[in-house]
Structure 1
Amino acid sequence: MKAALVEMLTVYILMLLLFQPVLHDIYSTRANAVELVLDSAIQKAASSDNGRFTPEIIEEMRLTLEHTFLLDPGDIRFFGTTTLTPRGEYIEGTLAVRSTPRWLFRELFGAPDREPPEIVRYAKQMSEAPVR
């Protein structure tokens, strides 16, 4: 009995040591990817050529997340300013993707719903578009 308990705890601790850092790295990479893609897109949207999130900019964000960071297209949501915004007003955008698990044995400690279901990033920048 004692040997079985020791083996079970050893396997549990070994799994935590081997796989827990990987889960945190995956989550961190996904969160950074969302932030970088949104920052790049809002700079394009705020430029004098656009003045809003155009369908091309939104599609470019989706394609970057899908092909570069290998996210599922159904896991990506975007809300933002799609109407032409004159210079001096703000363009806003929110990009959300489904979150990955951060803990290997989260149900074991009685906190299955503590993690947010999505990684959400918000950006706001002043428009440079001259509206005529």
Structure 2
Amino acid sequence: MQVWVRLSKLPIEWIDVELLRLIGGMLGTANKVDHITESHARWRFSRICVELDISQPLKSELEVNDRCIRVEYENLGLICFQCGRVGHSKESCMEGVGNHKEGVMASGPVSGSDTNNGDIGSSGVTNDTYGP
């Protein structure tokens, strides 16, 4: 499923089409960067279109060069805040009740960008947490 994703807290120098595709590749297959992000007309967040396997849990944040990048998914509809998957609610989740986690966001308020310097070199995915 193709989904627009917002990446928050990126250093300004990381707002580059190739670097954003590299970061988007940590979520799925990065297809495109929106034209407003590409033209540097918005600094609060960057948007990329990513092909996601929605049968897998969503990632709420990524870690790149010791920086935490917040990930928000646009227009996904129903997201389970128990298991991080799309298509059902926490109340109807079949995952264990004792496994409640926090953190996945489906579009909402976005904080401002972090403008510290940094290069993309080593990267990793943080341990995912889900929902409110």
The TM-score, its normalising length taken from structure 2, stands at: 0.30
- Structure with larger Rg: 1
**Normalized against structure 1, the TM-score is what?**
0.30
Which structure features the higher share of helix residues? 1
Structure with the bigger percentage of strand: 2
